[in-house]
């Protein structure tokens, strides 16, 4: 059991903030929530509203100093989550759960696709397909991963991919035997490498 100290100072808040930022990437709102809870758990807090405003003030000053940037954090998380095989729909939900607003998420996505050619929509589709391929490979759902004697269960593969938030028509297109990314390992590897180079994943 933690024995609460009687008083906290802004220096305590700043110390906890910098310690957290040295270990983890995070968003402004999530850091505010973490710091408020940290102080409440360790100190006697006479005014929750005063604590909230003091934490917000310190987090804002750290943001101005460059320690914290929601869009930069989003970019890093989106790249990592795409490589893990998460759909953009699921990524958006996970980032919102971190108290990141939709504008920051959209700005981060736009930054990722800025260096590529083509429309934003086509780039989003490419990233979505990339993530779906990464997840399908992880789960051994692709035709080239199956043995010649094994029956591929397409319904099981479709269900697995839909649970990750991928679009049904895109899943069907991927899983057809005529899709070279599904049936040929070399084509798959080449395509994945091209997308990773294009979007710096």
pLDDT band at 120 (very low <50, low <70, confident <90, very high): confident
pLDDT band at 170 (very low <50, low <70, confident <90, very high): very high
pLDDT band at 149 (very low <50, low <70, confident <90, very high): very low
The answer on pLDDT for 75 being more than 60 is yes
pLDDT given at position 6 = 76
Mean pLDDT of 55-84: 93
pLDDT over 90 percentage in the chain: 70
Write b or e for each residue in 82-121: b if 16 or more Cβ atoms lie within 10 A of its Cβ, otherwise e: beebbbbebbbeebeebebeeebbeebbeebbeebeeeee
In angstroms, the CA 13 to CA 32 distance is: 10
> Looking at the DSSP assignment, which residues form a beta bridge with residue 157?
none
Contact 99, 33 (CB under 8 A): yes
Angle at 138 between CA 135 and CA 139, to 5 degrees: 90
pLDDT given at position 152 = 54
CA nearest to 167, candidates 131, 120, 123:
131
In angstroms, the CA 109 to CA 133 distance is: 19
Write b or e for each residue in 152-178: b if 16 or more Cβ atoms lie within 10 A of its Cβ, otherwise e: beeeebbebbeebbbbeeebeebbeee
pLDDT band at 188 (very low <50, low <70, confident <90, very high): very high
Contact 133, 174 (CB under 8 A): yes
Residue with tokens 């199956």: 146
Mean pLDDT of 35-52: 93
Q: Can you read off the two tokens belonging to residue 138?
A: 């992880």
The answer on pLDDT for 123 being more than 60 is yes
The answer on pLDDT for 11 being more than 50 is yes
Instruction: Supply φ then ψ for residue 43, to 5 degrees.
Output: -135, 155
pLDDT over 70 percentage in the chain: 93
Contact 30, 68 (CB under 8 A): no
In angstroms, the CA 35 to CA 189 distance is: 44
Q: What is the pTM of this model?
A: 0.80
In angstroms, the CA 95 to CA 102 distance is: 9
pLDDT given at position 55 = 97
Mean pLDDT of 100-121: 83
């Amino acid at each position: 059991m933690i024995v609460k100290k009687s008083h906290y100072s802004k220096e305590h808040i700043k110390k906890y903030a910098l310690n957290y930022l040295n270990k983890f990437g995070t968003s402004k709102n999530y850091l505010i929530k973490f710091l408020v809870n940290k102080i409440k758990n360790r100190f006697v807090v006479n005014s929750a509203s005063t604590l909230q405003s003091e934490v917000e003030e310190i987090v804002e000053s750290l943001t101005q100093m460059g320690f914290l940037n929601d869009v930069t954090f989003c970019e890093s998380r989106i790249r990592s989550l795409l490589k893990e095989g998460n759909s953009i729909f699921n990524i958006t939900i996970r980032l919102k759960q971190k108290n990141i607003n939709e504008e920051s998420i959209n700005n981060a996505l736009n930054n990722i696709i800025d260096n590529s050619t083509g429309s934003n929509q086509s780039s989003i589709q490419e990233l979505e397909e990339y993530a779906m391929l990464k997840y399908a490979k992880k789960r051994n759902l692709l035709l080239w991963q199956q043995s010649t004697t094994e029956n591929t269960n397409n319904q099981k593969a479709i269900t697995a991919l839909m649970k990750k938030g991928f679009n049904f028509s895109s899943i069907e297109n991927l899983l057809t035997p005529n899709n070279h990314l599904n049936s040929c390992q070399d084509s798959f590897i080449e395509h994945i490498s091209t997308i990773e180079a294009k979007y710096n994943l």
